[in-house]
Structure 1
Amino acid sequence: MRERRDTGPWYREPWPWLIMVLPVTAIVAGAVTLWLAVRSNDGLVADDYYRQGLAINRSLARDERAGALELAARLRIVQDAIEVTMSAREGAVLPPELRLKLAHATRPRMDRTITLAGDGALYRAPLGALAAGKWQVSIEDGAGTWRLAGPIVLPGQRSANLVSQSSRGR
């Protein structure tokens, strides 16, 4: 009968290391997940659901008002500025300035609000660099009585046509 001889210490054998890889991998993955959760803010979760639900009715009324005025906007990003050309039904008065909101799809800290000065139907304002990605654009008058909204994807898309949400269903 042959005698079994241990040839070396346990840490030189591959089997203990293979057995330890799974728990160590789980611990590392858990630590990375925890680090990501603490580091990034989940901006998509709202604290005040009820108040936001009530605000939806006001938003719908603003969209309907824009539809009644037959408002439309052509948004263009030109070098370091943003231009908006407005059109409305005959007899409608365009405001002297517009408020433009740019909301990033996933990063609320990048959101911006810009006031556009008007000259007739053309409104313009300086615009710094915007991060790549999908942005939700919203244009409204200074009093917030109407709103036009739509998406734009940067850097590829340099212009967008915005129409009333209520007129899209027509």
Structure 2
Amino acid sequence: MKREQSAKAAPWYREPWPWLLMLGPVIVIIAGVITAYLAVVTSDGLVEDDYYKQGLTVNRRTERDQRAAELGVAADFVLGEEGRRIRILLRLHAGVALPDALSLRIAHPTRPGFDQDVALRAEGGGVYVGTLAPLTGGRWHVSLEDEKRQWRLVGDWVTGTESALRWTPLSRVTAAGN
């Protein structure tokens, strides 16, 4: 009689092993649904819609970088007033006229919502001033160009390390004094 009772086992759904074996695939399916949801709902900040047009402008950008080197463009910039005011001292070869205004672009590598375009106005003597929103700490791509877009300086800047920076053509933005 004891053998008959042991042969009559409980139904499968009352055993722990089938549930334990099904747990893995169920977790994978739930993770897949969550991943698909996030892929559809969130924005791909690093993917550009007009990547082909951007690829075509590479030669033009390189020419502007080389033009900055030919003109001897160099700049020092200082952040003041808790990082809200920026002052740039622009230097060019002798005989080259200073532009009336400059354009500064500060772009975060992964968060396009933090990017800033700052118009800088001349104060005289190669000094340009502008106002920007406070920057979060981290690495930023920085681009400075004249109003006619004939030359530009580009580089990377790590905020929070130094507030005074030196900038020369075809180089990285470096801390002043380096």
- The answer to whether TM tops 0.5 is yes
1:123-167 alpha-carbon deviations (Å, 9 max, x no partner): 12121122333211000011111000101123344343322128x
TM-score, structure 2 normalization: 0.79
Paired positions, count: 166
> Is the counterpart of residue 89 in structure 1 residue 93 in structure 2?
yes
Q: Deviations over 1:78-127 (max 9, x none)?
A: 21212222122222222121100111101223222110112222212121
| Larger Cα-atom Rg | 2
Q: Mapping of 1:21-100 within 5 angstroms?
A: 21-78=23-80, 79=82, 80-100=84-104
Q: TM-score, normalised by structure 1?
A: 0.83
Q: Please, which of 147, 150, 156 is the counterpart of residue 145 of structure 1?
A: 150
Give the letter aligned to residue 125 of structure 1. G
Which residue of 156, 160, 166 corresponds with 1:155?
160
User: 1:130 and 1:90, CA in 2 relative to 1: closer, same or farther beyond 3 A?
Assistant: same
- Code of the aligned partner of 1:109: G
Greater relative contact order (CA < 8 Å, ≥ 6 in sequence): 1
Asked if the contact 1:152–1:159 (Cα under 8 Å) also holds between the matched residues in 2, the reply is no
Amino-acid identity (%): 40
Q: RMSD value over aligned CA atoms? A: 2.5
Structure 1: 5+ residue runs without aligned partners? none
Relative to 1, partners in 2 of residues 1:21 and 1:159: Cα closer, same or farther, differing over 3 Å? farther
SS in 1 for 2:72: coil
Structure 2 counterpart of 1:99, which letter? S
Letter in 2 for 1:42: D
